Amino acid sequence: MIHPIRLFGDPVLRRRALPVTNFDERLKTLAADMFETMYAAEGVGLAAPQIGVSRRMFVALELPTPADDDDEDDSRWDQRVEHVIINPLITRRAGVQLARDGCLSLPGLTALDVPRDLAVDVTYQDLAGATHTISADGYFAHVLQHEFDHLEGVLYYDHLPEPRRQAFLEEHRRELVDMQRRAKAALREDRAAVKR
């Protein structure tokens, strides 16, 4: 099932998500829905709060590093690995990378040179509750950090140095106001549907 993606302005995006405690069939269904929603939106990651579920869970795609001469190598997509990450902790951070960042909850907006750790280790649980650790660097480390941030109520532009953060907000003021308006309208519709 494809869920609507919560937009900038929805309070769930700024809340610290709660731990997952029930590893049941509903959790498996949620993970499948999150992948379906992520693919429909053409993303490489999606956190549960982005579909209104305030739980510490995200899905992410790991893609092979492109060949030096071909950043658009379509075969990379066929070699993707899907990850379901539940109750994650970043246990090691190393290095610094600057990369372009965007978000399905801020559609159409990107920021350049967003600072992230170059490499991370993430300890997490899978759908059965078993504990694992994954090591990532480069682009996949960036994806893991971006999705982890959603569980902490952090958006990618929060990482920009203050003058650039303010410039980003000012430059995109019109789009952000529109997203906030749409987010509030969606919340009103949700409340009305619950009352029916």
Residue pLDDT, tens place only, 143-157:
999 999 999 999 999
Domain boundaries, the chain: 11-195
Residue 4: pLDDT band (50, 70, 90) is very high
55 pLDDT higher than 80: yes
State pLDDT tens for residues 160-170: 999 999 999 99
Annotated catalytic residue 175: no
Percent pLDDT > 90 in the chain is 87
Mean pLDDT in residue range 5-10: 98
Q: Which of 110, 111, 114 is nearest to 99 (CA)?
A: 114
Catalytic residue among 62, 72, 147, 152: 147
Given a cut of 90, whether residue 64 has pLDDT beyond it is no
Candidates 3.90.45.10, 3.90.1300.10, 3.40.50.2000, 3.40.630.30; CATH matching 11-195: 3.90.45.10
What's the pTM?
0.93
Instruction: Show the tokens assigned to 99.
Output: 């990369």
